[in-house]
Amino acid sequence: MFPFTRYVLASLVAIFVAFSLAVSAHAAVTHTVIATDLTNPWSIDWLDTDQALITERDGQLIQLNMTTGSRIQIHGLPPVVASGQGGLFDVRVWRDQGITWLYLSLAGPHPNGGMGTELWRGQLRGDRIEALENLFQMQRGGTSGRHFGGRIALDATHVYLTIGDRGEPDRSQDLSDHAGSIIRLHLDGSIPADNPFISTANAKPEIFSYGHRNPQGADFHPDSGQLWTHEHGPQGGDEINRIERGRNYGWPVITYGRNYGLGTPIGEGTEKEGMEQPLLYWDPSIAPSGMAFYRGEAIPQWQNQWFIGALKAQTLVRLTETERGIRQAERLFRGEFGRIRDVREGPDGALYLLTDSGRGQLIRLSASD
């Protein structure tokens, strides 16, 4: 057999196997719509198996009964500016010594004008948030309605918050500016003494990493405990990054994306000494949003894999880790649900999706019977 013929046959077999795996993985999973008519939902977390909290970008926080579908509006939230991409973003539930804390990220009014990404926490008591505390506010606001970041990640001692470049790319390389960074605080909002720039002149002490464009997905690797994030590129160049203290992730000096419409290069290329390379990037863009490492038992074949929602691509991306790094294994439910805004594992071990529209849905994924 000629080498070229062997190559063609091998390629066809590989394509067939990949297609068969994708179809079988999709076919073995069923979906159930838990809630509808949500107004541009952004994030979900759970108080317990039956009660979930869902943020809506226009500033509403809803408590949803997962069994009956009944809803309660939570009152007492801080001021929210719902403009452009801005609004109420993430919610995370944290329990400490019998207290139920809610961590909220949002676009809030800045005292010097415009708006900026903020981090708040309060105690949930009935249908109200009380003992509200502003843990963080960007030092400099902006009038742009773009690139707020807004994803929260919590570990045993720290809270991380992603912040976008606010539509002004050069701010991401300025350590005296919070824009385009990931910040790290103690759970009470105090600044950790081992933050990387705490002793750097003029640098913001909250900054943990910088050079980010608009990170909107975050979760911790189960083995290393290290924070992984993804972020939106421009025209191409969406990235997954492993976040390390003090590192520069390059935007806008290096990127795999290009200027919108024109397709012209941005910055100095795709690599530069002292700047980190992504673990994986997409070109063309998928517009990633929401990110979860799945540990649950409701879909055994998906255990220990990464899942990312996509807005532009309207799909759920499944990622696997190999000896050579992380790779895209398949894209699921293409166009079936619309824009996928958040991806979270629920307390029942299922995988949940929120769709971003004026009639958004909460969708539960589990293994088919």
State yes or no: cis peptide before 288, omega within 30 of 0: no
- DSSP string across 267-296: TTBS--TTSPPPSEEESS---EEEEEEE--
Q: Which of 307, 289, 300, 288 is nearest to 345 (CA)?
A: 307
- DSSP string across 104-155: EEEEEE-TTSSEEEEEEEEEEETTEEEEEEEEEE-SS-BS--S-----EEE-
Which CATH architecture best describes the domain 24-367? 6 Propeller (2.120)
Is residue 73 pLDDT above 50, yes or no?
yes
Q: What is the mean pLDDT of the chain?
A: 92
- Each residue's pLDDT tens digit, 253-300: 999 999 998 889 999 999 999 999 999 999 999 999 999 999 999 999
Q: Which two tokens stand for residue 150?
A: 């807004």
Q: Which two tokens stand for residue 93?
A: 């539930």
Name the DSSP class of 204.
-
- Type and span of the H or E element at 3: helix 3-27
Name the DSSP class of 254.
B
- pLDDT, greater one: 12 or 81: 81
Active site positions, annotated:
147
- pLDDT, greater one: 4 or 140: 140
